[in-house]
Amino acid sequence: MAEKKFFLTTPIFYPNANLHLGHAYTTVLSDIVVRYHRLQKERVYFLTGADENTQKIVIAAREAGKPPQKFLDARVEGFKKLFADLNISYNQFIRTSDKEVHWPGAQKLWQKLAEAGDIYKKEYEGLYCVGHEAFLTSKELINGKCPEHGTSPERIKEENYFFRLSKYTSEIKKRIEFGELRVIPETRKNEILSLLEEGLQDVSFSRPKTASSIGIPVPDDDSQVMYVWCDALSNYITALGYGRDEKLFAEFWPADVHVIGKDILRFHAAIWPGMLLSAGLPLPKTLFVHGFITSGGKKMSKTLGNVIDPTELLQEYGTDAVRYYLARHVSPFEDGDITHEGFKSIYNGDLANGLGNLASRVMTLAQTHLPGPVKVEFVPYPKEFTDALEKFEVNRATDYVWGRIGELDKKITETEPFKLIKTDPEKGKSLISDLVRELAAVDLLLEPILPGTSKKIIEAIIANKKPENLFPRKE
Ligand code: MSP
């Protein structure tokens, strides 16, 4: 049988600001799932990128006193550096400013929608929130302001192209209801179904081109540029060569999973399926929707000043400490809070005293008392662990690993190998060899979650040597 393929995407990130820990969460969660699928010997494609044709960039670049493209390049370098520091194993980083990679496919998709009769011109008046990159209704405002961004939306009256999304309401609803397009978790599925119940409105899909606007020209009408969400969503197929060289597209589309945060569910569960249906393309199989990371009980935001910068945590604690925290101590389904104090206490408890100490205890015993390295074999992943990862529940998978770490610690305490080796050297050695094998089995489970640490531990086992201090205690 041909090996299974697995195509996973993250959202593409707005480069108007630096990425914070919430953005890092989406990406780390995705990376763990992807690494797990690679270890299952599947053919994996992991896509991430930057969403660049947005009005936010024009504003941010102007504030920084830089030309937009220069500004974007620097920000995207920063994103890539952060992803390297987080050990993110993406196959491709797409940039929607890339005229060769992205634009031809975005324009081809537009043409497909037009050919289907789903694009029409209309005079439109509405309240546009740049933070959302979307029109808001007056019902959504509080005291005339967008409650999320705290800004007054712009009243815009202009002629736009519209996408006939309303036409696809019942088809999208059916696909979601019957699980052909799975929305996980159930609460998000219900949320989108009730929205579909009300019926979808057609959406404005272009903006008039102005001197300062950036964006993909609408095919056959240079006076308009594509609406940023129409442009951004198409990245999932343009990255695979749609409209350009469709080999990867044929191999990997439809996506096995789009990982997204709860705030962009509507775009992915309504507009995107609508576009694909209109173009006659298969729908993604799964939308995995996670909650928000909050700080001190509030949504992280620049205005509130409670943004946690992943770079700071990485410098202080290292790659795998940040991956560990995000993997285990943030629930993928609910909002999760993080503070600097909480991070430190978890680091000391679970990593310095937990995993780090265990690896050091076992390997000190092995190095001192065994004549050479213990031969370790591949142990298949237990069902509890694979089940959790198949469902994207990386926190549960990581709980399982730490359960095993606790058991191994307990076994050392109870069997006292450092005493046994004196009273009965043969039995003592055999016990220590068992402990090394169990450490190796735990280490294998760590591979998708903490790949760097996992590598150091297996190298120590192979060399029969105590590893370097993996997680130095922080006072
Ligand atoms: N550019 C759009 C996505 C286009 S996808 C075709 C966008 N970008 S974003 O940079 O604002 O957000 C990217 C992702 O980060 C989203 O999934 C969003 O939910 C997630 N997060 C932003 N803040 C977050 C937290 N505080 N916590 C967890 N994830 C959050 O939206």
pLDDT in tens, 332-368: 998 988 988 999 999 999 999 999 999 999 999 999 9
* Residue 23, ligand 1, Cβ within 6 A: yes
What the block records as the tokens of 311 is 């770079």
Closest ligand 1 atom to residue 54 Cα is: 1
Q: Is the CB of 271 under 6 A from ligand 1?
A: no
Report whether 119 contacts 113 (CB < 8 A).
yes
Determine the residue of 10, 16, 18, 26 to mutate for testing ligand 1's pocket, defined as the one with the most ligand atoms within 8 A of the Cβ atom.
26
Q: Hey, which of 263, 287, 325, 330 would you mutate to test ligand 1's pocket, going by the most ligand atoms within 8 Å of its Cβ?
A: 263
User: In the β-sheet with 134-136, what is the strand arrangement from edge to edge?
Assistant: 134-136, 119-129, 154-163, 203-204
Provide CB contacts within 8 A for 147, sequence distance 6+: 140, 141
Ligand 1 center to 10 CA (angstroms): 9
The best mutation among 95, 228, 264, 302 to test binding of ligand 1, ranked by most ligand atoms within 8 Å of the C-beta, falls on 264
Quote the ligand 1 centre to 292 CA distance (angstroms).
9
Nearest alpha-carbon partner for 266 in 187, 161, 195: 195
CA dihedral 166, 170, 175, 181 (to 10 degrees): 30
Atom of ligand 1 nearest to the CA of 291: 28
- State residue 151's pLDDT score: 87
Q: How confident is the model at residue 430 (pLDDT cuts 50, 70, 90)?
A: very high
231 Cα–ligand 1 center, Å: 16
**Is there an atom of ligand 1 within 6 Å of 300 CB?**
yes
Closest residue CA from atom 19 of ligand 1: 261
- In angstroms, the Cα distances linking 453 to 181, 356, 397, 436 are 36, 9, 17, 16
Model confidence pLDDT, tens digit, residues 209-237 = 987 788 999 999 999 999 999 999 999 99
**In this predicted structure, what is the pLDDT of residue 138?**
85
CA distance 235 to 39: 27
How far, in Å, is the centroid of ligand 1 from the Cα of 238? 20
Q: Residue 25: CB within 6 Å of ligand 1?
A: yes
pLDDT at 2: 61
| CATH top class, domain 340-463 | mainly alpha
pLDDT in tens, 230-276: 999 999 999 999 999 999 999 999 999 999 999 999 999 999 999 99
**With a 6 A CB cut-off, is 11 part of the ligand 1 pocket?**
yes
283-334 pLDDT, tens digit each: 999 999 999 998 888 878 776 778 889 999 999 999 999 999 999 999 999 8
Chain segment 87-128, per-residue pLDDT in tens: 999 999 999 999 999 999 999 999 999 999 999 999 888 898
Q: Is 265 in the pocket of ligand 1 (CB under 6 A)?
A: no
CA of 13 to the centre of ligand 1 (A): 6
Distance in angstroms between the alpha carbons of the first and the last residue of the chain:
54
Tell me the pLDDT tens digit for each residue of 46-85. 999 999 998 888 888 999 999 999 999 999 999 999 999 9
Averaged pLDDT score across all residues of the chain: 95
Q: With a 6 A CB cut-off, is 288 part of the ligand 1 pocket? A: no
Q: Which of 145-149, 155-159, 225-229 shows the highest mean pLDDT? A: 225-229
Share of the chain above pLDDT 90, in %: 83
Residue of 8, 18, 20, 51 with the most ligand 1 atoms within 8 Å of its CB, for mutation: 51
Nearest CA to ligand 1 atom 23: 22
Is the CB of 158 within 6 Å of ligand 1?
no
Whether the CB of 263 sits within 6 Å of ligand 1: yes
Q: What is the pLDDT of residue 306?
A: 83
Distance 46 CA to ligand 1 centre (A): 17
By three-state DSSP, how is residue 291 classified?
coil
